[in-house]
Chains A and B, each alone.
Chain A
Amino acid sequence: MMSLLEVKNLKKIYTTRFGGNHVQALTDVSFSVDAGEYVSIMGESGSGKTTLLNILAALDKPTSGDVLLSGKDMTKIKDKDIAAFRRDNIGFVFQDFNLLDTFSIKDNIFLPLVLAGKDYKEMEQRIKPLAEKLGITDILKKYPYEVSGGQKQRTAVCRALITNPQIILADEPTGALDSKSTDQLLHLFGKINEDGHTILMVTHSVKAASHAKRVLFIKDGVVYHQIYRGNSGYDEMYQKISDTLTLLTTGGDKNA
């Protein structure tokens, strides 16, 4: 069976404006994600996590390598079509929510649908069940500055889901939340995954990662290691991840 997302030999080199310095953010990254999977990518600051996510989200282009989503090479999509492709196929959840203060919660959720030129009736139909599942029905008329961080993030999740994307990309989704909201959100992600959505989450929170079914570790621009949850519980998974991270930072030279 073909994977939903396939990343092959991804390489990204940043060049400073006048071409003087080269910074290698991604050296050689390859992995694949099957439909229905829940994958976390972990790594320290500067390991290339964010660069990877930006490329997966088609916000940035790799220096070399391919990204295939359902067999379609995202790196080859023309600039003018890329926004529509992103809108229709990828759902985003960001660390800082990225909600617009100029729109109500409801209009924030509608934003991708409006951009896609959908009918108002259809939008209303789509939002109802989603808002109920995410527990934000009561705040739809409010504005982002009037609700809590957890509610903002659930709004962002709702916005990501409303287009029925092939994959949900989450960038440190719990980074700006308190522990209670974090638990709620991770629980929600589990539920969404059970409903059949594919989730790819970038994080350096062990707790967040422990909810995933598979965890990839990135170091110095390459996928260094990966662990599967299998049948283990959250606590066991948490321990495994912690151990791996310790190994990575202390004696983790691959060739040692």
Chain B
Amino acid sequence: MRKGLFPSLALQNIRKNGKFYLPYILTIIGTVTGFYIISAIASDEGVAKLRGAAYVELMMSLGINIIGIFAVIFLLYTNSFLMKRRHKELALYNMLGMEKRHIAWILCYESLYVALIGIVGGLLCGILLHKLVSLALFKLLRFDIPFGFTISTAAIKASTILFASIIGITLLFNLVRIRKAKPIELLRSSSAGEKEPKTKWLLALIGVLSLGAGYYIALTTKTAIQALTIYFLAVFLVIVGTYCLFTAVSIVVLKQLRRNKKLYYKTKNFIGISGMLYRMKQNAVGLANICILSTMVLVMVSGTLSLYLGTEDMLDSFYPGQIISEITINTEAENVFQKDIMVENINDIISKNNGSITRLEEYTFLSFVVGRGENYYHTNVEKSLNADYVQLCFITEEDYMKLTGKKVELKENEILFFSDTMKDKENIRIESGDYSFDFTIVEHLNSFPTTGGLTSIVDTGYGVVKDEAVLQTLYEGQKSAYGEMASNLKWIAIIDTDQKEEIQIKCAEEISSLSSANGIGDYSFLYVTTRAQNSYEVYAMTGGFLFLGLFLGFLFNMATVLIIYYKQISEGYEDKERFEIMQKVGLPKKDIKHSISMQILIVFFAPLVVSAIHVAFDFRLMIRLLSLFSLTNNGLTMLCTLGTLLGFAVIYGIVYWLTARTYYKIVSAE
């Protein structure tokens, strides 16, 4: 055969099948761009030097893996769709006397062109966008923005190898398919008669049950720990449920609707129900895919967005002041810890650094975990792994008055108590090793001035007791039960100053080197930290999460859009025939248009509605999980979720509008 025929034929094919090839090539360009950018950021040496870089590197390597896996699955999927559409054309070549190896050559050239355009285009976009995306990333992470424009050869190499291999694999698949097929089969395969879907009661039942179970878990999970351990089970159940819902439940429902003769034999329902039944068979899996992808996008983006926007809240709860100094008191030491001298020392250090303290809160704090009995707390927690844990925190009356400005006068066996689950109780009994305590609750508080910098993943009860002597006996009680594992009394100081962040960090370092030589007595441990220093790391984490969420959200969104587009186009060609027949039998054009838009609307928005429902149920779980990051601003999380949903719906709507137009053009073409 004439030299140069195959390359030119291949080029012609790509151009003629533009309706199918263009989105495919765009997908490759998109994924290559994404992959390049993530790899480039991951391998950037400038990033590695920044504070909190460990988080960024972790996120990026996570991102590389996810995009890599995604690219393989997604490109194989779109390729199989593409090939199905082209069977007829390839069969025609075969019939016209082209041997299979000639067709193979054409396919090879086509893949070569696609790979060239896709990878080179993707790398170009990637290199151009890399700077922009890393600027956005640094902004999110609150990093200083580095100068310069870099091209990462490592990332170019990695992207080229990955995507060349993926396209190579798809080519291999196509070649095997051509090799196996007989021309007559190829000619027919795109117009094979479709049978009506069977009713799969078992699958429908499994679907309803697993969806119900997934939702039940989401609704009944009470604590963050439970949420964490059970989250993936719930996700798995919901995914299984979603697939069954679209494949089996939908068909059961539609068939029941068809049984109702009065309802079924109305013009609108007649065409609609039968059309949907037919559609569901081919599209159920695709719709379920769309639904799950959209749910992932929604959960990912809204979760990471809440986390990022809640970073300040998170910092506030972790670091209630600019400098936090925490001393673990050594109760056995002869030279007792002197908190007044400690405060003096801190004052000296701050003023030595040309600053003054604008706020100082200090208190003695005891916190330990107990098991919850029927009407009391106990320390026999090791006996039951599944015990219901409660964390108890105590401060003294004196410190409470200092912190809140309220006036209280307690007796030794009296307590002020704050807990969500103990509101109706009048007494608290704590059985603690050799000791037992009975407190009368004088007042149920509505809030507590401090959490002692602790993030609790279990229920927490806060108590105010008479004085340090009571704290001491509580301490000894749990010590007698827990021994080595017992909690210690802590003295915590929260300090705000009028200094710059760098100076605060310097002061914190100086405070942390205080010792008994400064007259503060002996202590077990001194830990000083600043909010300034930690906010870098926290922002690196939450910003990294948000970046990854947005980036992957964008990519998954692209996938969703493409699946929808391909679906509508391929259905358009099939429906064209159906509507032609109906027109001949007497269906007015207006009704055709109406019926088409109804069906597209349902097919299009069913996955969105289902994923919105998924997200609604997931919301509770998400709140629990976010509480692990000390994020308890549920209003904010709700707002982020609704915002994400709205944004997604808008994008979805635009895609609907565009594809519906293309679809109608195909169907109504003469």
A residues near B, CB below 8 A? 57, 59, 79-80, 82-84, 86-88, 92, 94, 98-103, 107, 110-112, 114-117, 120, 123, 143, 145, 159
Which residue from A83, A84, A120 sits with its C-beta under 8 Å from B261?
Answer: A120
**A111 near B584: Cβ-Cβ < 8 Å:** no
The answer to whether B195 touches A145, judged by C-beta atoms less than 8 angstroms apart, is: yes
In the assembled complex, which residues on chain A have CB atoms less than 8 Å from the CB atom of B194? 101
Bound together, the chains give a CA A143 to CA B193 distance in angstroms of 11
> Quick one: closest B residue to A79, CB to CB?
B589
Question: Which B-chain residue is minimally distant from A111 (CB atoms)?
Answer: B585
How far apart are the CA atoms of A88 and B588 in the complex, in Å?
A: 12
Residues of B close to A57: CB separation below 8 A: 584
Chain A residues, Cβ within 8 Å of B436: none
Interface centre among B195, B266, B274, B586 (most CB of A within 10 A): B586
**A94 and B267 contact, CB distance less than 8 A:** no
New contact pairs (5) apart from A102-B275, A102-B278, A114-B266, CB-CB < 8 Å: A80-B590, A83-B588, A101-B194, A115-B585, A145-B193
Q: Quick check: A117 and B586 within 8 Å, CB to CB?
A: no
Q: Is the CB of B589 within 8 A of A83?
A: yes
A59 touches B581 (CB 8 A): no
Kindly identify which residue among A102, A117, A123, A143 contacts B267, using a CB–CB cutoff of 8 Å: A117
Q: Which residues of B contact A112 (CB under 8 A)?
A: 585-586
B265 contacts which chain A residues (CB < 8 A)? 110, 114, 120, 123
A83 — nearest CB in chain B belongs to which residue? Answer: B588
Q: Give the size of the chain B interface in residues (CB under 8 angstroms).
A: 26
In the complex, A85 Cα to B424 Cα: how many Å? 77
Determine if B586 and A86 form an interchain contact, defined as CB atoms under 8 angstroms apart. Answer: yes
0/1 interface trace, chain B 325-348, chain A, CB 8 Å (1 if under): 000000000000000000000000
Q: Is B589 within 8 A of A102, CB to CB?
A: no
C-alpha gap A115/B274 in the complex (Å): 14
| Contact A101/B261 with A80-B590, A117-B267 known, Cβ cut-off 8 Å | no
A87 touches B195 (CB 8 A): no
Please indicate the chain A residues that have their CB under 8 angstroms from the CB of B278 in the complex: 101-102
**CB <8 Å contact, A102 and B266:** no
Instruction: Give CA–CA (A188, B289) in the complex, Å.
Output: 51
Give chain B residues whose Cβ lies under 8 Å from the Cβ of A159: 585
User: CA of A70 to CA of B443 in the docked complex: distance in angstroms?
Assistant: 96
Interface status of B573 (Cβ within 8 A of chain A):
no
Decide: A92 and B585 in contact? CB cutoff 8 A. Answer: yes
- B277 CB–A CB distance under 8 Å: yes
Choose from A80, A94, A114 the contact partner of B270 (Cβ within 8 Å).
A114
Pairs A–B under 8 Å by Cβ, sample size 22: A59-B584, A82-B588, A83-B588, A83-B589, A84-B586, A86-B584, A86-B586, A92-B584, A92-B585, A98-B581, A98-B585, A101-B194, A102-B578, A103-B274, A114-B266, A115-B267, A115-B586, A115-B587, A120-B261, A120-B265, A145-B195, A159-B585
Residue in A closest to B195 when the chains form the complex, CB atoms? A145
Give Cα A57–Cα B275 distance, bound, in whole angstroms: 26
Which residues of A lie under 8 Å from residue B583 when comparing CB positions?
A: 59, 83
Chain B residues with Cβ under 8 A from A59's Cβ? 583-584
* B262 CB contacts on chain A under 8 angstroms: 120
Residues on A with C-beta less than 8 A from B585 are 87, 92, 98, 111-112, 115, 159
Asked whether B316 is an interface residue with its Cβ less than 8 Å from the other chain, the reply is no
Closest chain-B Cβ to A52's Cβ sits at a distance in Å of: 16
Could you tell me the distance between the alpha carbons of A57 and B585 in the complex, rounded to whole angstroms?
10
Q: Which B residues are in CB contact (< 8 Å) with A94? A: 584
Are the CB atoms of B586 and A83 closer together than 8 Å? yes
* B361 CB to nearest A CB, Å: 73
Q: Is B219 an interface residue (CB 8 A)?
A: no
Q: A111–B588 contact, CB under 8 A?
A: no
B412 interface hit (Cβ, 8 Å): no
Q: B605: shortest Cβ distance to chain A, in Å?
A: 22
CA of A34 to CA of B588 in the docked complex: distance in angstroms? 29
Which residues of the other chain, B, contact A83 by a CB distance below 8 angstroms? Answer: 583, 586-589, 591
> In this complex, which of B194, B261, B585 has the most chain A Cβ atoms within 10 angstroms of its Cβ?
B585
Specify the chain A residue showing the minimal Cβ separation from B583: A83
Structural contact, B589 and A114, CB atoms closer than 8 A: no
* In the complex, B196 has a CB within 8 A of chain A: yes
Partner of B578, one of A82, A100, A145: A100
**Is B582 located at the chain interface by the 8 A CB criterion?**
yes
Query: B543-559 vs A: 1/0 string, CB under 8 Å?
Result: 00000000000000000
CB distance from A171 to the nearest CB of B (A): 10
State the Cβ distance, B580 to closest chain A Cβ, in Å.
8
Q: Is B193 within 8 A of A101, CB to CB?
A: yes
